[in-house]
Amino acid sequence: MKSLQSQLSISLSFGLIALFGLFWGVMSYSVHHLAEEYIVMRLNHDTENLKKALYQDEQQRIQINLEEVDPIFLHPESGHYFVVKRPSGEPIRSPSLQDHPFYVKSLGSESLKVYETQGSMSDHVMVRVSSWSINDQPIELALAEDHAQIEDMVHLLDWVFALLSLAGLAAIWFWQQTILKRGFSGLQPMRQALETAPHLGVPKDIQVPSEIEPLVNSLNKTLAQLHERLARSRQRTGNLAHSLKTPLNLIYQQLESSRLPAELRQSMSEQAQRINQLIDRELKKARLAGGELHAQTFDFQQDLQDLIEGFQKLYREKDIHYNVQINLQVPFLIDREDGFELLGNLIDNASKWCCQHVSIHITSQQNGLVVMIEDDGKGVEHEGLQRLKQRGQRLDETQPGYGLGLSIVEEIVQIYQGQWQIEPSYLGGLKVKVQLPQLIKNS
């Protein structure tokens, strides 16, 4: 779907083009029509003057007194011509025509005709033909005016007006683009707030246009409801898991009784342990926030240091050396609980299977976060490595490690739309590489 700014720009542009096109068409038609009407009005005036110059001689023939004719009809090729058709004799032609032919359309049953034709010197000649009678002798008087210069001026005016219209159209288009950009720039603080911390919505101190204020209010209300639902879901899941702990503990107590057969006790103990693992797993999953960030985000400096100190105490007998390198060129936002689950499980597995060294590399770029954790343990055979890559499940059901923790890692990576892979490390053990895209942009 096109952006709102693009849609407004396109619609306004077409609207302006249509408006200026209509304006130019009306203006051009009006100017041409006025020019023709002006020429016809002059021909009407010249017709009345020429009528006064017509008379009958002693032989009752129609003649014209050139001394009463406007001198412009006397100059050769002056652009003003007349032809008088009379009942007897050749038509009377104006001296301005000289020997140039000039065809006059017949009136027929009409008494007046105005048309445009080609003249001897130009393609734009307006002709007015009228008829009347002098002493019962019918006469047709045709007056013509060469209006090529006027047409040239009108066409020049058309081009000037068209260029001015295009310039005005371009100026108005750029102006409306500036207005649109200025208007949409008012939404930038709201966009930055949503990109930086979408879980908080749009703060009330950010001024938004009144047209989208209802949308912003609805968005904030929806985010608040989602936050509340997620919190309630986590609490209910935790309560349910803890509620199951009590009957599970009773089952463990019953299993200690010698009244049950040893085989049955062993089978029930394995199933109870399985249920306990599933409860722990669901408790961990309930703490995953996924793409929705909450008030606290993972601090890659302090929180990671706390994790390492905890594992140093947990695996004190190994005296593990943790090589930590953090290069956050671009801040990466991840929920605090998700960060603890992701890095905690990876570092726990590496610490559990290493000999003495664990390498932790965390880098962030514009396109996301890259986490690489390696250990110097014995590693995993190729077949087992393929199973870990594909399923993220435990390879050895009798002891912990590379099982439940990696399944939690896989769930977090999937929620954040990332990728992860396991491969042999140059240290001798395994290298787990996690790539998370930058779902939440930073300003």
Pairing between β-strand 62-64 and β-strand 54-56 as defined by DSSP bridges? antiparallel
94 Cβ contact partners less than 8 Å away, ≥ 6 residues apart: 69, 73, 74, 80, 81, 82, 83
Query: Which is higher by pLDDT, 45 or 275?
Result: 45
**Domain extent listing, the chain:** 4-152, 196-286, 302-437
Tokens 């683009």: give the residue.
177
Q: In this structure, what are the phi and psi dihedrals at residue 436, rounded to the nearest 5 degrees?
A: -115, 130
Span of 83-97, 109-123, 307-321 with lowest mean pLDDT = 109-123
Tokens 């359309």: give the residue.
105
400-429 b/e (C-beta count within 10 Å ≥ 16 → b): ebbbbbbbbbbbbbebbebebebeebebeb
Mean pLDDT of 419-426: 89
- pLDDT for the residue 374: 94
- pLDDT for the residue 390: 55
Query: Which is higher by pLDDT, 244 or 290?
Result: 244
- pLDDT for the residue 97: 84
Closest CA to 230 of 335, 331, 342, 334: 335
Q: What architecture is the 4-152 domain classified under in CATH? A: 2-Layer Sandwich (3.30)
Amino acid, single-letter form, for residue 431 = K
Dig out the tokens for 346 from the structure. 């990876």
Say yes or no to pLDDT of 266 above 70: yes
Span of 56-70, 153-167, 235-249, 330-344 with lowest mean pLDDT = 235-249
Q: pLDDT exceeding 90 applies to what percent of the chain?
A: 9
- Residue 402 confidence class, pLDDT cut points 50, 70, 90: very low
- pLDDT for the residue 334: 84
2 Cβ contact partners less than 8 Å away, ≥ 6 residues apart: 10
Helices (H), 354-395: 382-391
- pLDDT for the residue 197: 60
The answer to whether 294 and 335 have CB atoms below 8 angstroms apart is yes
Which residues are 431's β-sheet partners?
A: 374, 423
Instruction: Please tell me the total number of residues recorded for the chain in this structure.
Output: 443
- pLDDT for the residue 391: 46
Interval 362-385: pLDDT, tens: 998 778 899 999 999 888 777 777
- What CATH fold (topology level) applies to the domain 196-286? Helix Hairpins (1.10.287)
Interval 329-358: pLDDT, tens: 888 888 888 888 899 889 998 998 899 999
3 state DSSP class of 374: strand
Mean pLDDT of 15-39: 85
Query: Which is higher by pLDDT, 237 or 395?
Result: 237
394 Cβ contact partners less than 8 Å away, ≥ 6 residues apart: 401, 402, 403, 404
Span of 47-56, 72-81, 217-226 with lowest mean pLDDT = 217-226
- Residue 222 confidence class, pLDDT cut points 50, 70, 90: confident
- pLDDT for the residue 373: 95
Kindly list the distances between the CA atom of residue 148 and the CA atoms of 124, 128, 349, in Å, as whole numbers in the listed order: 5, 16, 96
Mean pLDDT of 234-254: 70
- pLDDT for the residue 193: 66
* Listed ranges 104-113, 225-234, 266-275; the one with the highest mean pLDDT: 104-113
Query: Which is higher by pLDDT, 237 or 329?
Result: 329
Sign of the CA dihedral running 97, 99, 103, 109: positive
- pLDDT for the residue 401: 46
Ordered DSSP codes for 45-63 = HHHHHHHHHEEE-TTS-EE
Say yes or no to pLDDT of 392 above 50: no
Query: Which is higher by pLDDT, 397 or 352?
Result: 352
- What CATH fold (topology level) applies to the domain 302-437? Heat Shock Protein 90 (3.30.565)
Dig out the tokens for 2 from the structure. 């096109």
249 Cβ contact partners less than 8 Å away, ≥ 6 residues apart: none
- What is the chain's mean pLDDT, rounded? 79
The answer to whether 430 and 422 have CB atoms below 8 angstroms apart is yes
Instruction: Give kind and range of the element (H or E) at residue 112.
Output: strand 112-117
Say yes or no to pLDDT of 388 above 60: yes
Distance CA 199, CA 228 (A): 11
* Residue 44 burial (CB count, 10 A): 14
Distance CA 142, CA 148 (A): 19
* Residue 69 burial (CB count, 10 A): 19
The answer to whether 165 and 24 have CB atoms below 8 angstroms apart is yes
- pLDDT for the residue 138: 85
* Listed ranges 77-86, 217-226, 257-266; the one with the highest mean pLDDT: 77-86
3 state DSSP class of 223: helix
Kindly list the distances between the CA atom of residue 385 and the CA atoms of 86, 379, 382, 394, 427, in Å, as whole numbers in the listed order: 117, 9, 5, 11, 16
Dig out the tokens for 15 from the structure. 């609207």
